[in-house]
Amino acid sequence: MIEPIIFKYPLASTLNPQLQVAIQTSLAARLGGGKHLGGRRTNFNFHHKNIPALNTLVKWLEGLFTEVGKHFSLPRFDQPSYSFTLKDCWGIIYDKDSCVIEHNHFPYAFSFSYYVASPPGTSPLIVNGQSHHLKAGDCIFFPSLYSHEVKPSQKEGRTVIIGNAFWVM
């Protein structure tokens, strides 16, 4: 199994408060939480709203896409070009007892979860059965076909920006 890869955004302390406000003022629906309440989310085209802080984050994320693609590929003698495009992007706020049921984002190449806020004691992201306790400013990338979920939490305030990228030939 290919391990997820994690990057730390160096300007998170400046950008994250702006991202938090942008998400809070753009909430549109709830995720599927099964028997629990799903997290509150923005629309899936959040990155097209021309929000300066989000534009800055997306530019940083897109700059990582080639490295992420190389991390997830098998060693080859002739490496293909790794050009990826961000397709979907949305923000999520998890309230107390909210969650998202196990799912995947196939057929995309890879997905990411950027942490805007991650108060101590909030539920971790579980990718293929492995818990990832990430902090504000961390961004985890994993192959989109990997199953992932967030269990109900006794704490509120976990805020993330999620996205999917596909490979462009």
Instruction: Grade residue 22 by pLDDT with cuts at 50, 70 and 90.
Output: very high
Q: Give the pLDDT of residue 143.
A: 96
More confident residue, 37 or 152: 152
- Highest mean pLDDT (candidates 32-36, 49-53, 77-81): 49-53
pLDDT computed for residue 167 by the predictor: 87
Q: Which two tokens stand for residue 16?
A: 């994250």
At 121, which CATH number?
Answer: 2.60.120.620
Q: Is the pLDDT of residue 129 over 70?
A: yes
The values of phi and psi at residue 109, to 5°, are: -75, -50
Give the residue-averaged pLDDT of 149-153: 92
8-12, 19-23, 55-59, 81-85: the lowest-pLDDT one: 81-85
Q: Which amino acid makes up residue 129?
A: G
Distance CA 93, CA 79 (A): 38
Give the chain's mean pLDDT: 92
Which has the minimum average pLDDT: 1-10, 76-85, 117-126, 135-144? Answer: 76-85
Asked whether the predicted pLDDT for residue 77 surpasses 60, the reply is no
Nearest alpha-carbon partner for 113 in 148, 70, 84, 83: 148
In the prediction, which pLDDT does 76 show?
Answer: 59
Q: What is the extent of the structural domain holding 159?
A: 5-73+80-167
Q: Decide if pLDDT at 84 tops 60.
A: yes
Domain count, the chain: 1
pLDDT at residue 80 in the model: 62
Tell me which residue has tokens 């530019």: 59
Q: Which residues contact 71 (CB under 8 A, 6 or more apart)?
A: 2, 5, 141
Sheet holding 130-132, edge to edge: 100-103, 148-150, 125-127, 130-132
